[in-house]
């Protein structure tokens, strides 16, 4: 079995695969400092809660944008799962060419998203990930990562509202029925959600105009992606497991490349 792990700024998402079948998804917070033993016990507990025997995990692949926890995390995997993990990064076999001045700047999660989107939906494709940051990545027909856009995520914007103002409260992030709101909470919700919808529609339009690529398949992912995607007909597909699927595909490419080298 393969354990695919996406370590983001807010959450760590783990998926267990048997071949192409996703057996379970688990999440834990990223910002809580943990030792390797704490990570190890959490991993064993999460797997056991779904009836997955930890000894059956024979491969681990990780995409991470949080370098500070990687030492403890790697040690946990080595100590408790007895596996050496693969890190997605420069030199990893992905099948995607990265056409930016410094490819090392590109987050591993965005690479995984690009691989999954191109492999599953073809190219050209625009990937929108509604995570801690909202990212827009253009992959061309010939599997080239052509350009990327990064904006503050919806939760970052929400946190700024209630942390940087004296009277605005912390609110649930949801879409109000109308943009013509009458109270503080609904007005904040309207600004956050309809603002994100407007931004997303405009960026999709500008990407098409400046790249000259139209039609362009658009796939969205990320925790709040479904909420936004429902209001944007330009988004063709919402795929909540896109990053994990990309990690699985990258692992398969890496394993196949290793077998060819041995042969």
Which sequence positions are flagged as catalytic? 109
End-to-end Cα spacing for the chain: 23
- Measured CA to CA, the distance from residue 56 to residue 63 in angstroms comes to 21
Number of alpha carbons in the 13 Å side-chain half-sphere of residue 86: 23
Instruction: Report which of 192, 197, 194 is spatially closest to residue 234, judged by C-alpha positions.
Output: 197
């Amino acid at each position: 079995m393969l354990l695919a792990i996406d370590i983001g700024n807010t959450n760590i998402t783990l998926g267990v695969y048997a071949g192409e079948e996703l057996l379970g998804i688990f999440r834990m917070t990223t910002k809580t400092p943990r030792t390797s033993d704490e990570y190890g016990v959490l991993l064993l507990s999460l797997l056991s809660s779904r009836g997955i025997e930890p000894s059956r995990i024979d491969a681990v692949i990780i995409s991470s944008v949080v370098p500070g926890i990687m030492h403890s995390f790697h040690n946990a995997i080595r100590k408790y799962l007895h596996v050496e993990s693969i890190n997605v990064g420069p030199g990893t076999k992905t099948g995607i060419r990265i056409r930016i001045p410094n490819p090392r700047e590109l987050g591993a999660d965005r690479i995984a998203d690009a691989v999954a989107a191109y492999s599953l939906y073809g190219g050209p494709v625009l990937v929108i990930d509604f995570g801690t940051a909202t990212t827009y990545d253009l992959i061309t027909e010939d599997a080239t990562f052509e350009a990327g856009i990064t904006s503050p995520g919806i939760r970052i914007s929400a946190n700024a509202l209630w942390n940087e103002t004296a009277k605005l409260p912390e609110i649930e992030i949801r879409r109000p029925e109308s943009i013509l709101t009458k109270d503080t909470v609904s007005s904040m919700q309207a600004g956050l959600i309809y603002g994100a919808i407007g931004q997303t529609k405009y960026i999709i339009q500008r990407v098409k105009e400046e790249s000259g690529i139209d039609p362009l398949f658009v796939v969205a992912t990320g925790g709040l992606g479904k909420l936004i995607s429902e209001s944007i007909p330009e988004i063709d597909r919402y795929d909540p497991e896109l990053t994990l699927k990309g990690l699985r595909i990258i692992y398969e490419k890496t394993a196949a490349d290793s077998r060819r080298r041995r042969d």
